[in-house]
Each structure stands twice: as C-alpha cells, then as structure tokens.
C-alpha cells in the first residue's frame, strides 16, 4: 500500500464529516460514495493530496485521509471479536515481533491481530478452524496491506489443538478459548528461546495457562493487562474521559527453555 503521494484508485480512504463521523471507502475510478448528505464522486478524490476537504452534492464537507491501522481495524467488517489496537501494540512488543519472524497464529478471526503482525514484518502461518473466518481474515488483511503481503500470510482451515506442523518457529501467538491445549504443540514447534503469547479475556484462562506452563519447558511466564484512558481536552475542561473500555483481555507470554 502506498503511504505517501496523492490518493490513488484501489486504495482505502477514510472520510470524516463535520460531525466527526467516519466512513471507510475503497477508491474506484468512476465510483461514488453515497450518504444521506449526498454523493461524493471518487474521481474528485483520486489524484488529490491527503487532508483536503471535499464537498458532496448536498454541500456536506468531508476531509479525506489514508486510514491508519487503527482507523482501518475499527471500520473493517468483523465476524469474531477482534483484538483492539490498544492490545495489538503491546502484543507486537511482548511477543517481540520483528521483520521476517516466523509466526504461527491461531485463531485468525477477522484478521486484526494478523494485520498488526504482518505490518511489523512477520511471516505468518495461520490456523483457523472456521472457513468463513479464514476468508474474512484474508479479505481484511489484503484490503489494508495490499496483495503483496499475502505471500507472508499462509492460512489453513484447521484445529490448532490437534497439532502444529511447522518447526523452528520464532513465535506462537494465540487468540482462542483454550490456549493451554496448544502448549505441548508449541513446545515442539518453537525453537529454544522462542516466545509463546496468548490473549485471553478471562483470568481463569490465565491461571489454566500458567498451570500448563508448569508442566512444560516454558518459563519466564508473565501476564499483563493494558488499560488505556482517553482525556477530554477542551479549553478549561481538561479531564479524563467519563467512559473507558475497562476490560478487553489479558496478555500472557512465556519463553521456551531447555529441559
């Protein structure tokens, strides 16, 4: 995906109206964006710089910019519950994702976490038990990152609880109900020093996972949760937002050690 220069056909663009409503569109030659505020021709946007304003047929003003990964993940079609950007950022650091890292990811869901790891340069083998989610994940990843990235995103419809074929992996990253079932497979699939990370909504899952580590060669296990609080900043009213997302999931990570 191009990051700079004028807006081009076949790339996603974010439109923001005066009421800060956001719309994600894929620019197409001859395409039209319809809303109750009138029609905006895609051809008006193609060839123009980001950050400009455009007027619809009914006089509504929109700003057009390229979506960031956060904009995209919050607007893309979602089937399964996704991992949110506030957790994807820390996952990239805690799982120490680097360009070329060989990662086994399961399940894929809507591909939000895949998008984050691919963007950080990972080479992913993805196991997803549901073929509809595998498709959704592939469509979302391709739509935001473009076709070139698909060579680093090999997906299979299969149950990761039954085993992992790959060996000498750098990372195993999981978002599914029973990550402890994957611990023995990950022990064989990772190289020594490799990292296992699981995202789980419930603390019961966290303790079951730590119990499984006790029976394995995984050590240095840690669990964190990430709280993010937005602030309202307007004139003299400078205070935390009244509402926040109080809970998403726990991040548990461990490293494969010697016997």
Helix, coil or strand: residue 214: helix
How far apart are the two ends of the chain, measured CA to CA in Å?
44
Measured from the Cβ of residue 178, the count of other Cβ atoms closer than 10 Å reads 15
| By the rule CB under 6 A, 109 interacts with ligand SAH | yes
Enumerate the H helices of 103-159 as residue ranges. Answer: 112-119, 131-145
| By the rule CB under 6 A, 161 interacts with ligand SAH | yes
CA distance readout (Å), 56 to 25, 26, 34, 45: 15, 17, 9, 11
* Among the residue ranges 20-28, 126-134, 147-155, 242-250, the one whose residues contact ligand SAH (CB under 6 A): 126-134
| By the rule CB under 6 A, 112 interacts with ligand SAH | yes
* Among the residue ranges 7-15, 38-46, 105-113, 142-150, the one whose residues contact ligand SAH (CB under 6 A): 105-113
* Among 11, 71, 170, 175, contact with ligand SAH (rule: CB under 6 A): 175
- Residues 114 and 134: their CA atoms lie apart, in Å, by 11
| By the rule CB under 6 A, 210 interacts with ligand SAH | no
* Among the residue ranges 35-43, 55-63, 89-97, 153-161, the one whose residues contact ligand SAH (CB under 6 A): 153-161
- Residues 90 and 108: their CA atoms lie apart, in Å, by 18
| By the rule CB under 6 A, 82 interacts with ligand SAH | yes
| By the rule CB under 6 A, 127 interacts with ligand SAH | yes
Residues that bind ligand SAH (CB under 6 A): 80-83, 106-113, 127-130, 133, 159-161, 175-177
């Amino acid at each position: 995906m191009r990051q700079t220069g004028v807006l081009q056909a076949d790339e996603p663009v974010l439109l923001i109206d005066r009421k800060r409503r956001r719309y994600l569109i894929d620019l197409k030659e001859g395409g039209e964006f319809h809303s109750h505020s009138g029609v905006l021709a895609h051809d008006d946007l193609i060839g123009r710089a980001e950050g400009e304003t455009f007027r619809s047929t009914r006089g509504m003003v929109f700003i057009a910019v390229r979506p960031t990964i956060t904009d995209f993940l919050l607007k893309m079609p979602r089937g399964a519950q996704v991992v949110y950007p506030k957790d994807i950022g820390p996952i990239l650091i805690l799982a120490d994702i680097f360009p070329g890292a060989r990662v086994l990811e399961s399940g894929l869901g809507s591909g939000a976490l895949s998008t984050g790891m691919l963007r950080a340069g990972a080479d992913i083998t993805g196991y997803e038990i549901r073929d509809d989610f595998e498709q959704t994940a592939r469509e979302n990843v391709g739509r935001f990152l473009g076709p070139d990235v698909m060579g680093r995103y090999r997906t299979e419809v299969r149950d990761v609880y039954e085993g992992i074929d790959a060996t000498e992996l750098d990372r195993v990253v999981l978002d599914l109900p029973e990550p402890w079932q994957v611990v023995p497979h990950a022990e064989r699939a990772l190289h020594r020093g490799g990292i296992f990370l699981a995202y789980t909504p419930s603390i019961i899952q966290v303790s079951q996972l730590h119990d499984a580590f006790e029976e394995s060669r995984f050590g240095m296990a840690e669990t964190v949760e990430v709280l993010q609080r937005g602030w309202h900043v307007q004139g003299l009213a400078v205070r935390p937002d009244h509402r926040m997302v109080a809970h998403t999931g726990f991040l548990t990570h461990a490293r494969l050690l010697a016997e």
